[in-house]
Homo-oligomer: A and B are copies of this chain.
Amino acid sequence: MADVTLRDVARVSGCSVATVSRVLAGTRPVGAETARRVREAADALGYRPNQAARALRGRSTGTVGLVLPQITNPFYPALVRELTHALHADGRAVLLADCDDDPVAEAEYVADLLSRQVDALLVIPAHEERSRAAVAAAAARVPLVLMDRGCGPGVADSVAVDNTAGMALVLDHLAATGRRRVCFLGAAGTASAAAERRGAYAAGAGALDPGAPERVALGDFSVEWGRAAVDEVWPARPDALVCANDLIAIGALQRLQQLGVAVPGEVAVTGFDDIPMAALSAPGVTTVRQPVPELAAEAARLLALRLSGDNSGPQRSIRLAPALVIRESSTPSRLTPPRRAERNAAPVT
């Protein structure tokens, strides 16, 4: 069963290795009868082309590298799933590297993947500035698409959700449901998700209340910060907490529950991303759902485009519109009672 080569198939089918190669790759026309014999022999022997040899010869491994900051970030598993499926559908295999939020490790992984002759790279940068050099260097060698986060302007093609549009959806929903004293629990730093969501809040919240744009507390994208942030902003007695992601929102809900504050009665809470936990918490978190399958498909499309030769075209930066998912954390139950159907929406095994 092991290691049957082109030569073996050639011997059994009674023709040359070149012919066998042509039949199997479909590169050039081959006599019908010969082709049949070859295919038969290949099948019988259980022939599998050696991809290493093919790669060495053809300068293409059919492999792409996927580098991400933390697979345990609850937003990424779904993205990884869709990306691997999209790439496998194109016949490519995925080399995965988790750099553990460390730009230095990230640079090493990128270099290692390049030495393994990946045809292209998909990178979710660990850091807006400190990932830049390695990413730019890699982008000079192979097609590279950035996802989810940026790392400075003009580095490579990129695909991400439209954070500004997402924030606007949230603010519109809160306005429509009568909330006025909104405040923002966000993340500091220059990462695109942090900065864009923060900026969109600042730009849009004024329409609800002149004081809102200044009611902002900044930490990081964690549950712990969500808990702590509530204590910072609660003295201002807001009627809505707009959180920069779902983890912050879940932390906020926990702290509010401890304080005995009614959600959504006294205060509404919203998140961003729609991670699985957002649907499972009690109350369910109203949030902005990223179009994960479409993000993955766009990234795969860009990669395929670059791989098929169009390497000189203009850099593409694709933003996809997210959708609002309304759950109980923002909607008085007399308006929208918790329904089974809604809670079932969680894409969890």
A residues adjacent to B (C-beta < 8 A) = 1-2, 48-53, 55-56, 61-63, 66, 70-74, 76-78, 80-81, 84-85, 88, 93-98, 100, 109, 111-117, 137, 140-141, 221-224, 247, 250, 254, 257-258, 276-277, 280-282, 338, 343-344, 346-349
| Residue of B56, B94, B114 touching A95 (CB-CB under 8 A) | B94
Q: Could you say which residues of chain B place their CB within 8 Å of the CB of A61?
A: 52
Given contacts A51-B117, A76-B77, A221-B349, 20 further A-B contacts (CB under 8 A): A1-B137, A1-B141, A48-B114, A52-B55, A63-B95, A70-B349, A71-B77, A71-B84, A74-B348, A77-B77, A80-B96, A84-B96, A88-B109, A93-B97, A95-B96, A96-B96, A247-B348, A250-B280, A281-B281, A281-B282
- Contact between chains at B100 and A48 (CB < 8 Å): no
Which residue on chain B has the smallest CB distance to residue A284? B254
9 shortest A-B CB distances, which residue pairs?
A52-B55, A48-B115, A96-B96, A51-B116, A73-B349, A52-B56, A71-B77, A72-B77, A71-B81
Q: Which of B49, B72, B112, B141 contacts A349 (CB 8 A)?
A: B72
How far apart are the CA atoms of A56 and B58 in the complex, in Å?
13
What is the minimal beta-carbon distance from A105 to any residue of chain B, in angstroms? 9
Query: A276 CB to closest chain B CB, in angstroms?
Result: 7
User: In the complex the two chains form, is B71's CB within 8 Å of A98's CB?
Assistant: no
User: A56 touches which one: B53, B73, B81, B100 (CB < 8 A)?
Assistant: B53
Residues in chain B near residue A66, CB distance under 8 A: 96
A254 to chain B, nearest CB (A): 6
Contact B98 A116 (CB under 8 A): no
Question: Given A1-B140, A85-B98, A281-B281, are A93 and B116 neighbors across the interface (CB < 8 Å)?
Answer: yes
Shortest Cβ distance from A347 into chain B, in angstroms?
7
* B250 A115 Cβ-Cβ under 8 A: no
Q: Which residues of B contact A95 (CB under 8 A)?
A: 63, 93-96
What are 23 A-B pairs at a CB distance below 8 A? A48-B111, A52-B55, A70-B349, A71-B71, A71-B77, A72-B77, A72-B276, A74-B74, A74-B77, A74-B348, A81-B100, A84-B98, A85-B98, A85-B100, A93-B113, A94-B97, A222-B348, A223-B280, A247-B348, A254-B280, A257-B282, A258-B338, A277-B280
Q: How far is the CA of A254 from the CA of B338 in the complex (A)?
A: 11
